[in-house]
Amino acid sequence: MDLLLGALFDVVRWMEDATFAVPLAALPLLAAASLAARRAQRRRARPSAALALARVWAEMLALSCLLLLAGWAVSRATYPGAPGPLWLLSGCLLYAALAPPAHALRCTLLRLAGRPGDGGPGAGTLRYLAWLVFAAVMMVFVHAVGMYLVFPYGGGEFHGMFAYTDEGRVEVALAAWRASVLILGAAALAFAAWIPLPYWTSALLAAAVGLAHWGRVVHWSWTPQSLHFHRTVSVLFVAMPFAVLLIAAAGALLRGRVMRRRSAAAA
């Protein structure tokens, strides 16, 4: 999980620093690849899984390029010192560029696993991993966008906690922790109804994302932390998974109760 989150955060940081030239140059190449895969598919007597996946990857990466270009264009009209609707929109477009490749990866793994009931003994595990990887990427995406909307300025919650102080702001840390827990708890509930994974898997995934994110606060070393601040965020780190799991469990119980009532009413 740490490796996945680290890779995703590295991609986001690269996208923040990359100029518009990279997606602009890649966009026509990806469009040509999609058209070539479509034409080759039409000429074949039987559908080709490889060509279908190539087309999916080309189109999803092209969509990511469009989102990056849109985010870059919107960011030209604003600046970090005055966060507003355009600043929020540019950040959301930036993070949204992660979703299309995640969809393409899920399609690839599901294609390799085959249809439910087909394939060998490892097909079910591969389908589970396909949805798990997709859910992990989307969980990071939802958490990043949610925290970005709560702290809509350059540096986000880290700026609020550590900028212009040699101790760390405990009140901002508490606000960031509450926002993170609520976002991840709500995401765990939504993912349990949206993605075909057990509800406890979504809950554990949300807790893992929260721990990985809050671990960066605990181990922050760019500016000093006071002993009181470090002890506080360390306690919040330990409490993070329990709070997220409690919200997910309460939501699952409430959802099960509602479903039982509907079944009883229908009967």
Render 223-246 in DSSP notation, one character per residue.
Answer: S---HHHHHHHHHHHHHHHHHHHH
pLDDT the model gives residue 19: 59
pLDDT the model gives residue 1: 47
Residue extents of the structural domains in the chain: 1-121, 155-267
Rounded distance between C-alpha atoms, residue 218 and residue 195, angstroms: 31
Band (pLDDT 50/70/90 cuts) for residue 72 is confident
What are the tokens at 118? 């087909």
Nearest CA to 255 out of 175, 193, 164, 181 is that of 193
Which parts of 18-122 fold into alpha helices (H)? 21-43, 49-75, 85-96, 99-113
Q: Half-sphere exposure of 36 toward its Cβ, with a 13 Å CA cutoff?
A: 10
To which residue do tokens 């609520």 refer?
182
pLDDT in tens, 221-256: 888 889 999 999 999 999 999 999 998 888 878 877
Q: Residue 136: enclosing H or E segment and its boundaries?
A: helix 123-150
pLDDT of 117 strictly over 60: no
pLDDT of 66 strictly over 70: yes
Rounded distance between C-alpha atoms, residue 176 and residue 227, angstroms: 19
Q: Residue 203: enclosing H or E segment and its boundaries?
A: helix 199-218
Amino acid identity of residue 206, one-letter, is: A
Nearest CA to 53 out of 101, 119, 116, 98 is that of 101
pLDDT in tens, 142-200: 898 889 888 877 778 898 999 888 888 999 999 999 999 999 999 998 888 888 888 88
Is the C-alpha dihedral spanning 100, 102, 107, 111 positive or negative?
A: positive
Nearest CA to 5 out of 248, 206, 240 is that of 206
What are the tokens at 239? 């409490």
Amino acid identity of residue 156, one-letter, is: G
What are the tokens at 173? 């840390």
